[in-house]
Amino acid sequence: MLSLHFLILVITNSRQYMQTAMAEHFKEASRCLTCLSYLNEPMHLICGYVCCLQCLNSLQKEPHGEGFLCPLCPVVSQKSDIRANPQLGELVSKVKELEPQLRVILQMNRRMKKFQVDVTLDVDTANNHLIISDDLRNVRRGRFKQNREEHAERFSHALCVLGSPRFTSGRHYWEVDVGTNKEWDVGVCRESVNRQGKILLSSELGFWTVGLINNQLYTASTTPFTGLWVSPRLRQMGIFLDMDMGTVSFYNISDGSHVFTFTKISTMEPLRPFFSPVDDMNDQSFLSICPVMNPGIVSPPNYPGQGE
């Protein structure tokens, strides 16, 4: 027989999971895919791409025509194909009114730090153009190929490295200092991801990551990718993996604000921390795993967003 305490715990965690997933869904559904702000007079292209009315003119036009090119697919929408969506506009207005409550639901909970784990870099998986520090906590792109033994698990082309340990169950939290790097990706991936040739970071292929492109655009590795509005700028990121609920969440350490949550991630096989420092070959462009602040803490089960 299940104990009453265990049943209460399951119900509480499930409710919190649903609240977080719903808040994330409402936040993403209300965002313009072009300017990444709240949708203002939402317009749908024929392919389903949605943006603000004023953002239409910023879309690329087809050569020698008046059609609009979708930024995410090759479909061309003529002016007659574009439709307003007043119902979505009303929903966005409601979401804007609820923004303070959504922020509370998605805000980082300090209790998740009790699940902090000691993550280090697995040199045997590191691309040979990556430089790994002796303490296995810092990685950057190098100018020259490193002289390492050949391993089947090593990324042959992509500038990637996995972390240890492997996660098979439970909850785990770690922090990454991305510093002033102009391009990077961090998160988790399946143990079995392809490591040969070019790598496409996609949740459909087993990569659940958040990254920065060209020092301008934060993205999540959904399919198609999701542009993220992040303020203040990310310097340190908290990553919370819940294998039992099938979620991984990213937080801005500077103010505890929520960055993105992947839901329904596959936990049928072990997951690994993932790092990709794709910045230029600047000697200071490290991705650094932050040290565990309170090693050895054993805490009762809880879930981010619960009261203190």
Residues 6+ apart with CB under 8 A from 119: 163, 164, 165, 174, 273, 289
Q: Give me 118's structure tokens.
A: 């000691």
H/E stretch holding 252 reads strand 247-252
Q: What is the pTM of this model?
A: 0.70
Residues 6+ apart with CB under 8 A from 257: 103, 106, 107, 108, 251
Nearest to 261 by CA among 197, 203, 205: 203
Q: Decide if 48 contacts 83 (C-beta within 8 A).
A: no
Using the predicted structure, report yes or no on whether residue 124 has a pLDDT greater than 90.
yes
Using the predicted structure, report yes or no on whether residue 8 has a pLDDT greater than 80.
no
Q: Give me 198's structure tokens.
A: 């070019």
* Cis preceding linkage at 74, omega within 30: no
Pick the range with the lowest mean pLDDT from 2-11, 58-67, 204-213.
Answer: 2-11
Q: Give me 102's structure tokens.
A: 């959504």
Sheet holding 257-262, edge to edge: 130-132, 138-141, 287-289, 171-177, 236-242, 247-252, 257-262
Tokens 């310097």, residue? 235
Residues 6+ apart with CB under 8 A from 231: none
Q: How confident is the model at residue 13 (pLDDT cuts 50, 70, 90)?
A: very low
Mean pLDDT of 141-157: 89
Nearest to 177 by CA among 115, 105, 234: 234
pLDDT more than 90, % of the chain: 44
pLDDT of residue 71: 85
pLDDT more than 70, % of the chain: 82
Sign of the C-alpha dihedral, residues 16, 18, 20, 23?
negative
Using the predicted structure, report yes or no on whether residue 170 has a pLDDT greater than 80.
yes
Q: How far apart are CA 307 and CA 285, in angstroms?
A: 37
| Residue 16 per-residue DSSP state | H
pLDDT of residue 282: 63
